[in-house]
């Protein structure tokens, strides 16, 4: 298939029948190959939905900055959507998050703010909420709540 944008490919992943896993001939088991999404993650679907819902609600408009606490895949998917839709994105993540995840976020143009490793994602959420209060023009989509 051909798409004009990676965003159009989100969710349009193959559905494959797995007959050998079926307990009987009357049962058909299907698998949705979500690793075929643009970032290779099932998180592309909810991330794109979050961005599009914020646009629909009027919270996210051209020139806005997206702010999101994350420890990985959802942040990467949000960074992809932000980049392709022309938004700046700032991700807050624990300082002990893997370099691979940081590199993927950077590849999609995300700015990364590290939060203390102690407390994990909860600390990243706290830091993001503090940043949101300091920057009322930033839009926190908030995957956790």
Q: Could you give the residue numbers annotated as active site?
A: 43
d(C-alpha 30, C-alpha 84), whole Å:
31
Among the listed residues 20, 24, 45, the one whose alpha carbon sits nearest the alpha carbon of residue 35: 45
Question: Do the beta carbons of residue 123 and residue 100 sit within 8 Å?
Answer: no
Give the sign of the dihedral formed by CA 104, CA 110, CA 111, CA 113. negative
DSSP 8-state assignment for residue 66: E
Among the listed residues 69, 109, 114, 75, the one whose alpha carbon sits nearest the alpha carbon of residue 96: 114
β-pairing verdict for 111-115 and 88-94: parallel
- Would you mind telling me the total number of residues written for the chain in this entry? 145
């Amino acid at each position: 298939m051909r798409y004009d944008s990676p965003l159009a490919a989100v969710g349009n992943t193959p559905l494959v029948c797995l007959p050998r896993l079926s307990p009987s001939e009357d049962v058909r088991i299907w698998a949705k190959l979500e690793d075929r999404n643009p970032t290779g993650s099932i998180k592309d679907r909810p991330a794109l939905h979050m961005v599009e819902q914020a646009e629909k609600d009027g919270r996210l408009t051209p020139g806005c900055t997206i702010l999101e606490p994350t420890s990985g895949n959802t942040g990467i998917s949000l960074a992809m959507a932000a980049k392709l839709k022309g938004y700046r994105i700032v991700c807050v993540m624990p300082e002990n998050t893997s370099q691979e995840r940081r590199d993927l976020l950077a590849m999609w143009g995300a700015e990364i703010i590290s939060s203390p490793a102690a407390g994990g994602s909860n600390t990243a959420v706290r830091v993001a909420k503090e940043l949101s209060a300091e920057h009322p023009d930033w839009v926190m989509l908030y995957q956790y709540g």
